[in-house]
Structure 1
Amino acid sequence: MIRLENLTKVFDTPKGAVVAADHINMEVPSGEICILLGPSGCGKTTTLKMINRIIRPTSGKVFIDNQDTTSLDTQTLRRNIGYVIQQIGLFPNMTIEENITIVPRLLGWNAKKYKERARELMHMIALEPDAFLKRYPSELSGGQQQRIGVARALAADPPVMLMDEPFGAIDPINRAVIQDEFIKMQKELKKTIMFVSHDIDEAIKMGDRIAIFRDGHLVQYATPDELLAAPQDNFVESFLGEDRALKRLNLIKVQDVINSEVETVTQQDSMETALSRIDRSGYQHAIIMVNEQRQPTGIIPRSVAQVSKGRCHDHAQQVPAIVNINDDLRKAVSLMLANDITWLPCVDDNNQLCGHITQRAMTHHLGARFRAQSGNTAPTAPLTEE
């Protein structure tokens, strides 16, 4: 949807020519979010602003949906690109409705259509239309204003959106909420988005692809997982941080690492049955007890099964923690650390047991990419330890 060919910007200064962006080549597939990342002054914002001609390129081309944008006049180009900035840029003398609908009105939409669009977008950004549309920007919090800025950029349903640190000025709690809302919206809307950020965690959370810039050059362009697993050089590696392996926890779902072959007992099974299944499976610590709906209701520790008689429901202990298969590994690790355990039962959205995940399995999964990169593919021990 977006293609940059040798896009270059040279600024003339009293001290001579400064190359802000040097022959940038990249493609952003339709429906994906591309994060432009790098230190201040690296060329990422300049590159973004050349796409809608806020900054005119010195040379090179921008293609949107295979159309060379040099064939479009600037007004037409900008009206077909949604644009969101950190400072939000709402017009203080206009109501929220007027702010959201400014581009549709410029495009000649009739009043019924653009008013319906405003209400639709307010629902999308989780703000009640009747409570907010007639207000002015000064009557809203910073986080609410930022949401309105996003809604305004979406108003004319543009295929492409440019976002210049749109959540950077918001406090961490509201920023996380808005990021989550935006990701939810993007799953439905599937816009093609280029997004400037300084925050590596934001880039990993939101980006389908990440472009790392340095001194006007595009250093590496890859998916978040590829970037974290195989940084191209020392600059990228240091920029990502020494905890880049831990950052990958955000990208991997529990269902990618789950062991679905899990032994269980029912509430009416005997403790002898529990011990034999623990031994048969090779579990070190405990076995999961489930009800008739196969929902985990307790655990039988090995130490208890070895000395107790009777039914499982008489001796079961509370399940320390449970993780959903759609959660990421970061949550799984957090639960393990908080409860001082090395494994977790995994459930689906109906709370039915799907399997279990172990600390060792996660370590193995994360390390596989690094081993492949280094050429070390030696087999490891079976992952039976709980």
Structure 2
Amino acid sequence: MIRLENLTKVFDTPDGAVVAADHINMEVPRGKICILLGPSGCGKTTTLKMINRIIRATSGKVFIDGQDTAELDTQELRRNIGYVIQQIGLFPNMTIEENITVVPKLLGWDKARYRERARELMRMIALEPDAFLKRYPKELSGGQQQRIGVARALAADPPVMLMDEPFGAIDPINRAVIQDEFLKMQQELNKTIMFVSHDIDEAIKMGDRIAIFRSGKLIQHSSPDDLLASPVDEFVESFLGEDRALKRLHLVKVRDFISSCIGTVKPTDSMETAQARMQEYGYTVGIVMVNDHNQPIGMISRAMTQITSGYCGDHFENLPAMAHLDDDLRKVVSLMFAHDLVWLPCVDDQGHLHGHITQRSITHHLGARYRVQADHDAVAGE
């Protein structure tokens, strides 16, 4: 959907020419998010701004959906690209509705259509239309203004969006909430997005592809998984940090990793049954007790089965934590550490049990990924 071909920008300064972007070649597939990442002054923002001609390229080409954008009028180009910046850039003298509908009005939409679009987008960003559309930006919090900035960029339903550190000025709690909401929106909208960030954790969380820049050059462009497993040089490796193996936990969801083979008991089962089932499944800690709807309601510990007779429903303990199918492994590991656990039952939105996940399996999974990459690199070196 987006293709950059030898895109270059040279700034003339009193001290001579400065190459801000040096023959950048990259592609962003349709419906994917590509994060441009790197230290300050590395060329990522310059590259982004050349796409919608906020900065004019010195040389090279930009293609959107196969069309050379040099053939397009600048205004036409920009109206078909959503643009979100860190400073938000809302017009202070306009209401929220007027801010959101600026581009649709310029495109000639009728009043009923653009007003309904504003209401639709407000619902999408989890802000009540009747409560916010007639307000002015100064009446909203920073996080709410940032959501409006995203809504305005989406107003004319552009196929491409450019985002320049859009969540960088928001506090960590609200930033995480807005990131999650944006990813949910993207699942429905399927936009092609280029997104400048300086935060490696944000890049891993949000990007389908990550492009690492240094001194105006594109150093590596790959999936987050490949980037973490196989940085191309020492600069990329140091930029990712020494905990890059742990960062990969963000990329794996419980539903993709769960072991569905799990033994359970019910409240009406005897403690002898619980003990036998633990032995059958090789459980050393305990076994999950479920109700008639296969929802976990407690746990029978192995120690308890060895000293107590009777029924499971009379001797169960509360489960300290459970994992959700849509949780990533980083959250799972955090829960395990917080509650001193080596395994967690895994449930869906209705609380139905689907399986379990263990510390050992997570460790093996991470190790296997890097062992495969190390073997691949060794073969390539030969």
**Which digits, 9 at most, give the CA deviation of each residue in 1:105-153, with x for residues without a partner?**
1111111111111111111111122222222222222111111111111
Whether 2:140 is the aligned partner of 1:130: answer no
Q: After TM superposition, give the deviation of residue 358 of structure 1 in Å.
A: 0.5
The equivalent residue for 2:85 is 85
The equivalent residue for 2:288 is 288
The equivalent residue for 1:260 is 260
Distance in 2, matches of 1:291 and 1:113, equals 50
The equivalent residue for 1:15 is 15
The equivalent residue for 1:114 is 114
Q: After TM superposition, give the deviation of residue 15 of structure 1 in Å.
A: 1.3
Q: After TM superposition, give the deviation of residue 262 of structure 1 in Å.
A: 1.0
Whether 2:341 is the aligned partner of 1:341: answer yes
The equivalent residue for 2:250 is 250
**Which digits, 9 at most, give the CA deviation of each residue in 1:267-287, with x for residues without a partner?**
222222211221222111111
Structure 2 unmatched ranges of 5 or more: 377-382
For 1:75, give the aligned amino acid.
Answer: Q
Aligned residues: 376
For 2:157, give the aligned amino acid.
Answer: D
Whether 2:16 is the aligned partner of 1:41: answer no
The equivalent residue for 1:366 is 366
The DSSP-based 3-state class of the residue aligned with 2:293 is: coil
Distance in 1, matches of 2:175 and 2:354, equals 33
For 2:42, give the aligned amino acid.
Answer: C
Distance in 2, matches of 1:348 and 1:132, equals 34
Q: After TM superposition, give the deviation of residue 182 of structure 1 in Å.
A: 1.1
TM norm structure 2: 0.96
Q: After TM superposition, give the deviation of residue 209 of structure 1 in Å.
A: 0.8
Q: Which runs of 4+ in 1 moved over 4 A?
A: none
Contact 1:163 1:194 in 2 (8 A): yes
For 1:196, give the aligned amino acid.
Answer: V
TM norm structure 1: 0.95
Structure 1 unmatched ranges of 5 or more: 377-386
Whether 2:329 is the aligned partner of 1:324: answer no
Whether 2:189 is the aligned partner of 1:189: answer yes
Distance in 2, matches of 1:102 and 1:22, equals 35
Q: In percent, how many aligned pairs have the same letter? A: 76
Which is further off, 117-126 or 62-71?
117-126
Q: After TM superposition, give the deviation of residue 11 of structure 1 in Å.
A: 1.0
Contact 1:42 1:217 in 2 (8 A): yes
For 1:218, give the aligned amino acid.
Answer: L
**Which digits, 9 at most, give the CA deviation of each residue in 1:49-101, with x for residues without a partner?**
00001111111110000001011011111111111111111112222111111
The DSSP-based 3-state class of the residue aligned with 1:211 is: strand
For 1:103, give the aligned amino acid.
Answer: V
For 2:296, give the aligned amino acid.
Answer: P
The equivalent residue for 2:380 is none
The DSSP-based 3-state class of the residue aligned with 2:3 is: strand
The equivalent residue for 2:153 is 153
**Which digits, 9 at most, give the CA deviation of each residue in 1:190-210, with x for residues without a partner?**
111101011111111111111
The DSSP-based 3-state class of the residue aligned with 2:307 is: coil
Cα RMSD for the two superposed structures: 1.2
The equivalent residue for 2:379 is none
For 1:235, give the aligned amino acid.
Answer: F
The DSSP-based 3-state class of the residue aligned with 2:219 is: strand
Contact 1:257 1:365 in 2 (8 A): no
Whether 2:276 is the aligned partner of 1:276: answer yes
The equivalent residue for 1:383 is none
The DSSP-based 3-state class of the residue aligned with 1:225 is: helix
The DSSP-based 3-state class of the residue aligned with 1:375 is: helix
Q: After TM superposition, give the deviation of residue 368 of structure 1 in Å.
A: 1.2
Distance in 1, matches of 2:340 and 2:218, equals 43
The equivalent residue for 1:177 is 177
The equivalent residue for 1:240 is 240
Distance in 1, matches of 2:53 and 2:375, equals 45
Distance in 2, matches of 1:194 and 1:351, equals 37
Whether 2:214 is the aligned partner of 1:214: answer yes
Which is further off, 281-290 or 189-198?
281-290
